[in-house]
Structure 1
Amino acid sequence: MVAHPDESPGFLLWHVTLRWQREIVAALAPLDLTHVQFVLLATAWWMNSHGESPNQLSLARRAGTDVKMTSQVLRRLEDKGLLGREVDPADTRAKLLRTTDEGAELARRAIGVVEAADAAFFGATPDLSTLQALMRPLADRPLADP
């Protein structure tokens, strides 16, 4: 049993995550992107630039986001002219996602902004490679069904 909340890894992770999210939100605000919009736009751009044309489900899986929420955010990105959807010739019920030229440019800029925010936030971490090694197995675990 943990004697004090500050000794709980989950509680500490919660606080670090909140602080990090605030930094990312502030960094993305001048680009008129929410954090989730950034994650989905950047992931779609990355997949497109690596020869993939994801649909909503494959993008949500790659990004680790809820499929229904992903749909809502993708509509917003499409309304902003950052993302386009095309009917998948292999499955007419599915739409393939492609970043527009404007979306690709914004994704590249936003990635730079987020990387700078990450560097500033995690720069005080004495051994970042150890932190990454500790987090990777946790991040790669499959999510439990609700």
Structure 2
Amino acid sequence: MPLSPSNSPGFLLWHATLRWQRNISTALAPLDLTHVQFVLLARAWWLNTQGEHPNQLALARQVGTDVKMTSRVLRTLEHKGLIEREVDPADTRAKRLRVTDTGADLAPRAIAAVECADARFFQPVPLDMAITLLGRLAHPES
């Protein structure tokens, strides 16, 4: 006999994910960023602050996005003046990413907005418990 939806972990996860995504979208809307734009901008910004200038493929792999979709979203971020894509001298087929000054100003503000939305969303659950559970779900091989 199948579980009722209220007892189905997958169904509950589906609804929790939808609610969380709506909260993140709401937090990012005033900054004119989608969730995927935020993830790519924030990760590129962080890598740039560490002295790294990843190419599009490396960034897509790090954040877990499709390579073609990543390229389209990065093009949008470039049109918004938030990143620059430069030909990689080591591989002329690849584009290295550099966050612009405008992007470097926006990234920490967007991260703060997302962290605030996350804190509100996960508030009913102790943070260490949420991190442990989600870490196990995200990386079952660990």
Q: Same fold (TM over 0.5)?
A: yes
Equivalence map 1:134-145=2 (5 Å)? 134-141=133-140
**Amino acid of the structure 2 residue aligned with 1:128:** L
Give the partner amino acid of 2:72: Q
Partner Cα separation in structure 1 for residue 11 and residue 136 of structure 2 = 19
Q: Give, in whole Å, the separation in 2 of the partners of 1:107 and 1:136.
A: 24
Matched-pair contact (CA < 8 Å) for 2:122–2:130: no
Residue 105 of structure 1 is matched in structure 2 by 105
1:33 aligns with 2:48: no
* 2:51 aligned partner: 51
Q: Which runs of 5+ in 2 are unaligned?
A: none
Offset, 1:141: 4.8
For residues 18 and 56 of structure 1, do their structure 2 counterparts lie closer, same or farther at Cα, with a shift above 3 Å needed? same
What's 2:92 paired with? 92
Equivalent in the alignment of 1:6: 6
One-letter amino acid of the counterpart of residue 57, structure 1: L
Residue-by-residue CA offset, 1:76-130 (whole Å, 9 max, x unaligned): 00000000011111111111001001001101110011111111111122x2211
Show the 5 A alignment for 1:67-82: 67-82=67-82
Mapped to 2, the partners of 1:124 and 1:132 lie a distance apart of 13
* 1:6 Cα offset (Å): 1.6
Q: SS of 1:65's equivalent?
A: coil
Change in CA separation of 1:141 and 1:88 when aligned onto 2, cut-off 3 Å: farther
**Aligned residue in 1 for 2:124:** 124
Match of 1:18 in 2: 18
Could you tell me which amino acid in structure 1 is paired with residue 132 of structure 2?
A
Give yes or no for the alignment of 1:133 onto 2:132: yes
SS at 1:97 equivalent: strand
User: Across the two proteins, how many residue pairs are aligned to each other?
Assistant: 141
- Please list every run of 5 or more consecutive structure 1 residues that lacks an aligned counterpart in the other structure: none
TM-score normalised per structure 2: 0.94
- State the TM-score, normalized to the length of structure 1: 0.91
- The CA distance in 2 between the partners of 1:73 and 1:134, in whole Å, is 30
